[in-house]
Chain A
Amino acid sequence: MIPEFGHFALILALMLATLLALVPLAGSITRRPDLQAFARPLASGQFVFVAIAFGCLAWAFVTDDFSVAYVANNSNSLLPWYYKFSAVWGSHEGSLLLWILILTAWTVAVAIFSRRLPTELVSLVLSIMGMISVAFLLFILITSNPFTRLLPNVPADGADLNPLLQDFGLVIHPPMLYMGYVGFSVAFAFSIAALINGRMDGAWARWSRPWTTVAWCFLSLGIALGSWWAYYELGWGGWWFWDPVENASVLPWLAGTALMHSLAVTEKRGVFKSWTVLLAIVTFSLSLLGTFLVRSGVLTSVHAFAADPARGKFLIGVLAVTIIGSLTLYAFRAPVVHARVRYGSLSREIFLLLNNVLLMAAMLLVLVGTLYPLVLDYLGAGSLSVGKPFFDLTFSPVAIAVALLLGAGVFSRWKRTDGGWLGRQLLWPAAISLVLAVIVPLWLGHLEPWAFAGCFAAAWVSVATFRDLWARSASRQGRWTGLRRLTRSYYGMVLGHLGVAVVMAGATVVTNYGVERDVRMVPGETVEMSGLTFHFDSLRHRQGPNYSAEQGRFVITREGEPVTTLYPEKRVYAVQRNVMTEAGIDGGLFRDLFVALGEPVGDDAWAVRIQYKPLVRWVWLGAIFMALGGALAIADRRYRMRVTRESPETAKQEPSSPEAVTGGVS
């Protein structure tokens, strides 16, 4: 009965979502507050029923109800309970249910945290989010019902969860990522609502900003988690593959980063409004595109689910309606919003505009590289692939350009910045970065152009950020008072930008100075690498809960001193007979040692991959910095205080105290 309840709850949720999409919208057109007032209760009701459906599916998993096809295909009675639970989003149907659950949760969150906003606006926003949820509820009910039963031939046991997914990283990676993807729907809904009612002022940007930032934080963490998971679980120690599905998550991230910065300008200075609205539309469209790419099965990748053409068609329909609909609305309404604010050609506005241009250029590069092979294949023009070299070659220069701009941008002022003053500010950071960019590569080995550029960019961003922090925290009452006087959103910005520097440093160093060797080893043999001795001590058989494993023991020493002992494994999962590589990793802030068992190559010998990966952890650490920065920025007091609508004129007249100037950018 429970699965039928779940199915029924989903249908009820669809009914409520349909009402949510229509009634408040009608109320907004006819200006009837009684209809608008329906928005909040409907949003809550929709969430409750989706949550019930989700709970029912989870229940089916935890109680091993293999009469439900989705459970039978993705679980097994031997699976530990926490993987049974996370198996709910282990495949297509359930992950869509999670998507909808998160969408409705965001909708409720908007309903709750927008008490101070005019009802007219909130109801419109909720109504737009309702439309999105109608589309996805229809999608799940028509093409991907997770509650379908296998009757009367109920299998005795399930086909097990893919072993790749039996991992903590994968338990939290999809929810994080979806929080990000779906979170951008709020900024999207706010923008569409603003387009419809034509009110696009500083207050509108202020409302959209925290939502965008939260979504962005989750997306950053989700991407980092995915990369971390690929690093230790796929078994080969790569942390970024430019796999189309990774790209699908980076696209909204790049657009979302641009959106955050553009919202800052719109909130503080009331300019770039049309551009900000367009970015919000683009960002959410890219989230939908990501969902389409991953869910439709058009990609050959680790993420590809069963290819059912109906699903692909439905999703591309949703994508098309969203993009065409919102762009049409944009075309008709965007010219209405105008600003009369002046700024010079060397001002923070321009720096942020350039930032947006570069981020969008990077986004376009990734988009082209990802879609080009798909489009060509679809047209029947041949099958080709665009791999890592393409993305490395094109993305890196743009990323470095963004970093260089960032370092200069943090010093710039709104309206007008004096060129000579800016140059003097940048002199020292430039000198220090130059020295670091030469010393660090030489210390690690040898100087190479890309290593130099990457280290320079990372040093430049961090030195400039600290220089700015130092200058702004100057105070007659002492440094401490000065530091305390800076706003949380300023600290958020500092942390976020340092995160960028940390990611760049990590990526540069691990790419240029990581060492990797594939060797043939017999137990008892020893390999020397990067000043370390890797001794393949022994091999033993081990039995896990639902797998059996060959476990190697590697003793690693440096000049006779023990460093660590690693236990890489080769696992065979019982049910699907899947072979998995569990790498042995000794993690550290400055370097990772990585040993993975390849395959037996005869005569007791194994193919072994040994890697020395300096600073690899910084790649994920930086993402954590960014997310923390975002969290600090939304904790800023101004989001909880001023309630009244603000026109851009008042925003313009804000005094150029450090707070007013810096508070914006996070």
Chain B
Amino acid sequence: MHPVRKRRLTIVIFLLAGLGIAVGLTVYAFRQNINLFYDPTAIMDGEAPHNVVIRAGGMVEDNSVVREPNSLKVRFRVTDFKSTVPMEYDGILPDLFAEGQGVVATGRLRDDGVFVADSVLAKHDENYMPPEVAKSLKKKTGDDAAAEAVKTVVTE
């Protein structure tokens, strides 16, 4: 083969190999590491799979937070003002976690319908909630107050 063509071929092969590595790893990792978001209504309607890592979010219902006396285990309910999902978490809650705040939790839905969270995210100031939560709340209530609340995020 002509040396120039040969060299081009090597380069092309290398590039394809790199692309192949990237695609292969991505596909492999995507099979199990993508977490879908469900709102409480979807979970209550049985749309969410059980015992698979998913994300769920909404507002923490007022007067729903209960702590266990001798551990860090905490129970609370998350609502989209239409349906409510009970959640359980063992660990330290974020600083901004509070009743009436928007949260997004990552975890699994147990067969008894309780969402067991591995991590809970609450975001930065009282005006703000995670976009997924705001969107689903807006869908549910048609309420512009929720949309209004989303508008301000002032952090870096």
Residue total for A at the interface (Cβ-Cβ under 8 A): 64
A303 touches B29 (CB 8 A): no
A residues 354-412 near B (Cβ < 8 Å) are: 354, 357-358, 360-362, 364-365, 368-369, 382-387, 389-390, 393-394, 397-398, 401
List residues of chain A with CB within 8 A of the CB of B36: 382-384
A576 touches B93 (CB 8 A): no
A345 to B96, CA, bound (A): 58
User: Quick one: which of B11, B32, B93, B151 contacts A598, CB cutoff 8 A?
Assistant: B93
Residue total for B at the interface (Cβ-Cβ under 8 A): 50
List residues of chain B with CB within 8 A of the CB of A387: 33, 35, 106
A162 touches B21 (CB 8 A): no
A390 touches B29 (CB 8 A): yes
Contact A384:B15 (CB < 8 A) given known A300-B130, A345-B10: no
User: Quick one: which of A342, A389, A401, A576 contacts B33, CB cutoff 8 A?
Assistant: A389
A91 to B156, CA, bound (A): 7
Q: How near does chain A come to B148, taking the closest CB pair, in angstroms?
A: 13
In the complex, the chain A residue whose C-beta lies closest to that of B96 is A579
User: Quick one: which of B29, B55, B153 contacts A304, CB cutoff 8 A?
Assistant: B153
In the complex, the chain B residue whose C-beta lies closest to that of A401 is B21
List residues of chain A with CB within 8 A of the CB of B95: 235, 578-581, 599
Beta-carbon contacts of B1-29 to A below 8 Å, as 1s and 0s? Answer: 00100010011001101110110011011
A302 touches B156 (CB 8 A): yes
In the complex, the chain B residue whose C-beta lies closest to that of A272 is B11
Beta-carbon contacts of A316-359 to B below 8 Å, as 1s and 0s? Answer: 00000000000000000000000000110100001001100110
User: Quick one: which of B18, B70, B91, B92 contacts A361, CB cutoff 8 A?
Assistant: B18
Is A518 part of the binding interface, using a Cβ–Cβ cutoff of 8 Å?
yes
List residues of chain B with CB within 8 A of the CB of A401: 21
A358 touches B155 (CB 8 A): no
List residues of chain B with CB within 8 A of the CB of A353: 11, 14
A365 to B124, CA, bound (A): 29
List residues of chain A with CB within 8 A of the CB of B55: 384-385
A601 to B152, CA, bound (A): 30
A350 to B22, CA, bound (A): 20
A387 to B118, CA, bound (A): 13
Contact A357:B17 (CB < 8 A) given known A382-B36, A599-B93: yes
A residues 258-316 near B (Cβ < 8 Å) are: 297, 300, 302-307
Contact A306:B154 (CB < 8 A) given known A385-B55, A518-B91: yes
Is B63 part of the binding interface, using a Cβ–Cβ cutoff of 8 Å?
no
List residues of chain B with CB within 8 A of the CB of A360: 18
List residues of chain A with CB within 8 A of the CB of B14: 353-354, 357
List residues of chain A with CB within 8 A of the CB of B131: 300
B155 touches A382 (CB 8 A): no
A601 touches B25 (CB 8 A): no
Known: A162-B155, A596-B92, A607-B92; 12 extra A-B contacts, CB below 8 A, are A300-B131, A302-B124, A357-B17, A364-B26, A383-B37, A390-B30, A394-B29, A581-B95, A599-B93, A599-B95, A602-B69, A603-B69
